[in-house]
Amino acid sequence: MLILLTASLIAGATLLYLCHRHQGWLMQPLSGSWRWLGWFLVAGTLALACWVYPINTAILAWMVGLMLLWGTLPFVPLVRQREEGGARER
């Protein structure tokens, strides 16, 4: 169950990030329908976590997961560029 919750939170947070106009992964942000799917996954993760775990634990883990993901997702393109740049030098 924990793997399902983690995967759906990652997918939902990533979709919400990719729908934002200042995201750095894609040339154009995703359309609004993907945003709804992202919100559905994020909210569904919270609802399912509250059903499986104590409510305090579920809300705290959900909030920490979102903060961690939304804090690190903007830096993924920078890591990709560094890896590609290092491979070209060799």
> How far is the C-alpha of 88 from the C-alpha of 44, rounded, in Å?
42
Identify whether the C-beta of residue 17 lies closer than 8 Å to the C-beta of residue 73.
Answer: yes
How crowded is residue 56: how many other Cβ atoms within 10 Å of its Cβ?
Answer: 9
Q: What is the mean pLDDT of each run of 10 residues along the chain (90 residues)?
A: 91 90 78 88 94 94 93 84 60
pLDDT at 11: 94
Identify whether the C-beta of residue 12 lies closer than 8 Å to the C-beta of residue 39.
Answer: yes
Three-state secondary-structure class, residue 24? coil
What is the pTM assigned to this prediction?
0.80
